[in-house]
Amino acid sequence: MSDQTAGRLAGRVAWVTGSSRGIGRVVADHLASLGAKVAIHGTTPTSTRAFNEAESLDAVAAAHNADVLPVHGDL
């Protein structure tokens, strides 16, 4: 990633619905790589728990030096 794009979203919060898996997960990961604080969302506690077990939130946060928060709920 170029220096121009790294940190481009620093100080901003991204809430990506359905981001505990699939395309939403990839989008959330990319936003974290740009410096955004990211809420990983799933519609059930099971979906966010599955994300926690599959890939540690701490590992994602450390990889991008970003704040990541698991959130479940029906939007």
Residue 19 placed within a domain: yes
Residue 1 placed within a domain: no
Total domain count, the chain = 1
Residue 62 placed within a domain: yes
pLDDT tens profile 46-61: 766 666 655 666 677 7
The burial class, CB within 10 Å (0-12 / 13-18 / 19+), for 36 is: buried
Residue spans of alpha helices (H) in the chain: 22-33, 45-54, 57-64
pLDDT tens profile 2-31: 556 668 999 999 998 888 778 888 898 899
- CATH number, domain with residue 34: 3.40.50.720
Expressed as residue numbers, the domain containing 27 is 13-72
d(CA 19, CA 17): 5
Residue 8 placed within a domain: no
Residue 28 placed within a domain: yes
